[in-house]
Amino acid sequence: MNIDMINQKLFSFLTQLAKHNNRDWFHEHKHDYVETRKMVVDFSIEMEQRLNRTDAIELTKLFRINRDVRFSSDKSPYKINMSGYFKRLGAERRGSYYFSIEPGNTVVGGGFYDPNKDDLYRIRKELEMDNRIESIVSDPLFKRYFGTLLGNAVATAPRHFDKHHPHIHWIRKKQFYAFRTFSDDEVMHSSFPDEVQKTYQALRPFFNYMSEVLTTDLNGESIL
């Protein structure tokens, strides 16, 4: 792998894009965008190959740099990061690996950012019955890489759940994901792909638990 796959050109382009977030500037610097996006494409190809050594990836997706401004008060046409995800293969493997490269705000991790209604209910029922999630996120390796499990939560107990339940902290959550942050220098270092690979591997116990939950009914019987 080319140790300069991601270099200062990417961060410089994104920094300037944040300052000049308009279509005229972007079109004037389209060559820079194409050049720097290729770094991210190459990085994603490398990481997909690495992930497939220990997991199975169905799809690699890079997000477009164009923003959807239809329902936003911020009409800036472009994102100021480059990001993507790796979807795991098959109904038995749940969770997606994610990365976002942005000056001063690069994150790597993954999880369940927008579970559908049925999946969210199934997760909450499991958390109501069992608290294995606590041991997973308190594991020293998970804590070292991610600190804690992230995600928005409802303000009070979800409907049909007891607000005084001892696991209510987990039951209230509607998102379940973990991020590790990287400095710009760390992203440009030759060890970055190795560190990303280790980070994704540290998510596997969490993914394995959630996959077990989402592929079984409340009696623990497979629904696949």
Which tokens sit at 42?
Answer: 């190459």
Domain ranges of the chain: 8-214
**pLDDT given for residue 71 in this prediction:** 87
In CATH terms, is domain 8-214 a member of 3.50.50.60?
no
Task: Dump pLDDT digits (tens) for 20-39.
Answer: 999 999 999 999 999 999 99
The distance between the two most distant Cα atoms of the chain, rounded to a whole number of Å, is 59
3-class DSSP state of 128: helix
pTM for the full model? 0.95
Which tokens sit at 119?
Answer: 């999946």
Percent of the chain with pLDDT over 70: 98
Provide long-range contacts, Cβ within 8 A and 24+ apart, for 189-197: 190/3, 192/6, 193/1, 193/5, 193/43, 193/46, 193/47, 193/50, 196/47, 196/99, 196/108, 197/47, 197/50, 197/51
Q: Are 200 and 97 in contact (CB under 8 A)?
A: yes
